[in-house]
Each structure stands twice: as C-alpha cells, then as structure tokens.
Amino acid sequence: MSWLLDPFRAEFMQRALVATLVIGIVAPVVGTWVVLRRMANLGDAMAHGTLAGVGIAYAIGVDVLFGAVGAGLLLATLLVTFSGNRRLGQETVVTVLGTAFFGLGVVVISRLDTGVELTHFLFGRVLTVGWGDIWLNIALGGAAVATVLALFGELRLATFDHVQAEQVGVRVELVQAILVVLLAVVVVISLRAVGTVMSVTLLVTPAATARLFARSLRQMTTWAVLLGVAEGFVGLVLSYHLEAAPGATIGLTAAVVFAVVFAATLPRRMPHHHRPLG
C-alpha cells in the first residue's frame, strides 16, 4: 500500500495526481470518438502541432496554455478547412500541417536562451503543475466531456453512416469540426502533466483497448475512462519510483495494458475473421 501512496506525500505529486486524473477522464471520453472515427492521426498532429503556440508564448512571455489554445484552434481550423482536399487526402494534409507547426515550435524553443528544455513541453513536467492550471483543466475538460455527452447521439449517427445522418438532419461536418476542437482541448489540458506528445496516448490507447472488448458505445466509453484513470494513476506511481518522465511512463503503462487485452481477446476475435457474413 505504501508503495502506492508514498509518492503522494509531497504536495506537488498530489497536484500531479489530480491533473493526471482529469486527463485520464477527459482524454478517453473524446478518444472513444477519435478511435471510432479513425482520427488518431489527427490527434497526433494536434499533439505535436500545439508546440508552435507553446514555443511562441514562451518566447514572448505569455502563459504557455494560451499559446497552446491559440495554436490548437488555428491548427483545428486549418485541418478542418483543408483535410477535404481530394487530390492529397486527409492523412497527407494532416501530416503536413502537424509537422509544420511542430517544426515551428522546435525552432522557436531551441532559439531561446532561457535554457528551457524542449522535453518539458513534449513529455510534461509534473513539478510545474499548479492549482490554477488544475482548475483551468477541470473547467476545460468538464466542457469537453459535457460536449461529447450532449452530442452523443449525433456523433453516433455521423460516425456509423454519415450519408444517412446528413439526410435526416445531422450536420456531419460541424460534428467533425467540434471533435477536432475537442482534440485541441485534450492536448491543452495535457500540456503540463503528461506533455503534448504523450497526450495522444491517453487519447487513443485506453479507447482502443476498450474497443477490443466493449459491446456497446456506452460500455466502450465507460471502460476507456476507467482504463485512462487507472493507467494515469499507475503510470504516475511507477514514474515516481523509476524516476522517469511521468507522461512517458503513463504512455507505456497504457500500451502494456493494450497489449495484454489485445492478447487476451485474440481467441475471441479470431473466429469472426472466418465467419461468413451469411
């Protein structure tokens, strides 16, 4: 027990825990739809791309959260505007934009003389999480979860059969645009605790794990959140004992759980491949 609780004697670790748990709840709720809509590459581009805003904000002395929000929204707008390009295809546009923003961030940060390290932003720096950040994260994350819950029916229709959905009145493109903005929100709230790059793990991996065995959307969302919270907690404890970067440790923990569940559900999935559709 003490092995689990020891790390949280220090107040900064308590803050880190709360911050991680907020992400552990919010990221999988949004991530469920990212996985179902096969938008994981968009999440990855968003995770890297926000670094541009972070770097610029740091350079001009503004809170990096504002930079991340600004870059996230700008990137979201560009992604939604240009990812429909037929000649290039969505994944190409997403990669070009994501790497461009990421590159800009790296260039800006590496030109700074303040000695700030790139890895702090990429993989988080749990020590720097303050209660102010946490309250902001709870507000932003709460809004993101509320949005997903309010749009649950619309998301379901738009994702399963976007053709019919549009015909019966669902604004499919608007739903997609909202989801891209929610991606940006997840990256922003992950910034300090797990870092931008690793934010995409809690976005995708718990939801992907739940997808392997969940039989309904409600089950999938519930399990993704339970996994996200548990993996966030265990990853944080492990990172304390291993003295490793929390974001990366949480990411690895989530990946191990995914691998175990993948292996365990393999026998159940196999027969489906061979079952005739009738």
Partner 1 sequence: MSPHRHSHGPHHAPGPDGVVLELQSLGVELGDRRVLDDVSFSVRRGELIAVVGPNGAGKSTLMKAICGLVNHDGVVEVNGVHCHDRTDRMDIAYIPQRNESDLAFPLTVGELVCAGRRRFRRWWQRPTEADRVVVDEALTRVLLPGTADRSLTELSGGQLQRAYLARSLAQQASVVLLDEALSGVDEPTTEELFDVFAALVEQGTTLLVATHDLGLVRRRFPRCLAVNGTLLVDGAPSDVLSMEAVDTLFSVRPAR
Among 1, 5, 60, 168, interactor with partner 1 by CB under 8 A? 168
**Residue 143 lies near partner 1 (rule: CB under 8 A):** no
Q: Choose the binding region for partner 1 from 40-48, 52-60, 133-141, 216-224 (rule: CB under 8 A).
A: 216-224
Q: Verify binding: residue 215, partner 1, rule CB under 8 A.
A: yes
Contact 189/23 with Cβ under 8 angstroms?
Answer: yes
Of residues 99 and 265, the one with the C-beta less far from partner 1: 265
* Listed ranges 47-55, 109-117, 123-131, 168-176: which one lies at the site for partner 1 (CB under 8 A): 168-176
- Give the helix/strand (H/E) hosting 195: none
Are 212 and 202 in contact, with CB atoms under 8 Å apart?
A: no
- Under the criterion CB under 8 A, does residue 84 sit at the interface with partner 1? no
Using the rule CB under 8 A, is 5 a contact of partner 1? no
Does 145 participate in binding partner 1 (rule CB under 8 A)?
no
Contact 26/207 with Cβ under 8 angstroms? no
- How far apart, in whole angstroms, are the C-alpha atoms of residue 185 and residue 73? 9
Token pair, residue 8, equals 């949280």
Binding mask 171-210 for partner 1 (x = CB under 8 A): x---------------------------------------
For the chain, what is the radius of gyration of the CA atoms? 19
| 220 is an interface residue for partner 1 by CB under 8 A | yes
Site string for partner 1, 27-66 (x = CB under 8 A): ---------x------------------------------
Contacts of 272 (CB under 8 A, 6+ apart): none
Contacts of 185 (CB under 8 A, 6+ apart): 26, 30, 72, 140, 141, 143, 144
Alpha carbon distance 207, 213 (integer Å):
11
For residue 193, report the phi and psi dihedrals to the nearest 5 degrees: -80, -50
Applying CB under 8 A, among 169, 243, 267, 273 the residue interacting with partner 1 is 169
Which residues form the interface with partner 1 (CB under 8 A)?
36, 150-151, 153-154, 156-157, 159-161, 163-171, 211, 214-217, 219-220, 272, 277-278
